């Protein structure tokens, strides 16, 4: 290489390094100005969203606009492009056309009773007992309710008897204590502070899985960070549960 070529090469390297730095700065500015539209079910919003937002903030300053709705509406919002990412519950074998589905966490809907209820500390209750007892239920559009109704119908059983229907998991917990009645809800949302005891149901289980949904194709950088943050949140929660189980 000639002396002139060496000087040109050194100058070109500096220009390329500055260009790469500029590209990184532009990407960062775009990320900080981007808004990710998230639709999420009530259960997922309560259980995994707070930690996911903390983890996402470590990677980007992009804003997250959150809509909390039942799983059916969440799926529709992803399908029609109103949400970049959706977190929704699906029954076994269910697919959501027009979306890419990433498994998030498995869940079981359980019967829970106040500690003073006659079913508390029972080994189990029968489906007949469940169906003949007034229950605190979620509203008919809630995925929790849909899973229960479909599983009971598949087993050739009738519909549960609603003492009242409420719009959120917390409302179900409050009404169960207020009325002294059983309720049915996600196992994920129950904590010792709720003072509700899970009672197994003979011969029946209500199983579902939460998925992260998005339209096919490449996600924006901020949306990808949010998806990764959800998975990180679930991993941390699972590790915490394992530690609690070991300690018990």
Question: Which pTM does this prediction carry?
Answer: 0.75
**What residues form DSSP beta bridges with 225?**
none
- Give me the mean pLDDT over the 23-30 stretch: 56
Q: Which residues pair with 188 in a beta bridge?
A: none
Task: Note the pLDDT of residue 243.
Answer: 47
Segment 143-169 shows an average pLDDT of 91
Contact 76, 143 (CB under 8 A): no
Question: What gap in Å lies between CA 205 and CA 187, rounded to an integer?
Answer: 12
d(CA 220, CA 37): 11
Separation CA 121–CA 99 (nearest Å): 43
Coil, helix or strand at residue 103: strand
Residues 6+ apart with CB under 8 A from 241: none
Residues 6+ apart with CB under 8 A from 199: 110, 111, 112, 113, 119, 120, 122, 124, 125, 182
213: CB partners within 8 A, 6+ apart: 74, 75, 78, 85, 86, 87, 88, 96, 99, 100, 101, 102
* Selected residue with higher pLDDT from 102 and 10: 102
Q: List, as one string, the DSSP characters of 115-171.
A: TTSTTTT-S-B-HHHHHTS-EEEE-TTSHHHHHHHHHHHHTT--PPPEEEEESSHHH
What are the pLDDT digits (tens) for 36-50?
A: 999 999 889 988 999
Query: What does the pLDDT look like over 11-25, one tens digit per residue?
Result: 567 667 766 765 665
């Amino acid at each position: 290489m000639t002396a002139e070529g060496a000087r040109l090469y050194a100058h070109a390297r500096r220009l390329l390094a500055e260009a790469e730095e500029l590209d990184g700065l532009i990407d960062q500015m775009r990320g900080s100005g981007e808004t990710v539209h998230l639709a999420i079910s009530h259960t997922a919003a309560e259980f995994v969203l707070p930690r996911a937002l903390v983890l996402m903030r470590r990677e980007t300053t992009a804003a997250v606009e959150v809509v909390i709705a039942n799983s059916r509406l969440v799926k529709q919002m992803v399908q029609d492009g109103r949400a970049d990412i959706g977190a929704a519950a699906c029954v076994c074998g269910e697919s959501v056309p027009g979306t890419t589905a990433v498994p998030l966490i498995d869940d079981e809907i359980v019967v829970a009773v106040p500690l003073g209820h006659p079913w508390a500390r029972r080994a189990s209750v029968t489906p007949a007992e469940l169906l003949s007892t007034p229950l605190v239920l979620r509203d008919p559009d809630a995925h929790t309710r849909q899973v229960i109704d479909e599983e009971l119908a598949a087993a050739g059983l009738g519909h549960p008897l609603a003492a009242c229907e409420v719009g959120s998991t917390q409302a179900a917990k409050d009404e169960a204590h207020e009325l002294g009645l059983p309720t049915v809800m996600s196992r994920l949302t129950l904590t010792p502070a709720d003072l509700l005891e899970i009672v197994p149901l003979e011969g029946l289980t209500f199983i579902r899985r939460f998925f992260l949904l998005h339209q096919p194709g490449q996600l924006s950088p901020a949306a990808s960070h949010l998806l990764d943050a959800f998975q990180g949140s679930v991993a941390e929660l699972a590790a915490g549960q394992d530690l609690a189980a070991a300690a018990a």
